[in-house]
Amino acid sequence: MIIIIIITIIIIIIIIIIIIIIIIIIIIIIIIIIIIIIIIIIIIIIIIIIIIIIIIIIIIIIIRAAASASSASASAIRSSS
């Protein structure tokens, strides 16, 4: 009888340890997934910011080129007349 009780206690302890290990593994996996998602979001945000900056720079260059071209044509018109 005592042997049966000891065996059941050992089995219960083993089951509890296995459950705890499984829970810990699940928590670690969830944390890793969350970290990966956060990193992906940060990368996407950085890419969007870089694209916006490039677009702004291109727009500024186009505006400056148009302004310099219009001023150059205006000065050419003035000098010819």
71 has a pLDDT exceeding 90: no
pLDDT in tens, 18-68: 999 999 999 999 999 999 999 999 999 999 999 999 999 999 998 888 777
In 10 A of CB 20, how many CB atoms? 10
Confidence at 13, pLDDT banded by 50, 70, 90: very high
Supply the pLDDT for residue 66. 78
Token pair for 59: 């727009």
- Identify the H or E element spanning 80: helix 2-80
5 has a pLDDT exceeding 70: yes
What CA–CA distance (Å, rounded) separates 45 from 38?
10
What CA–CA distance (Å, rounded) separates 29 from 23?
10
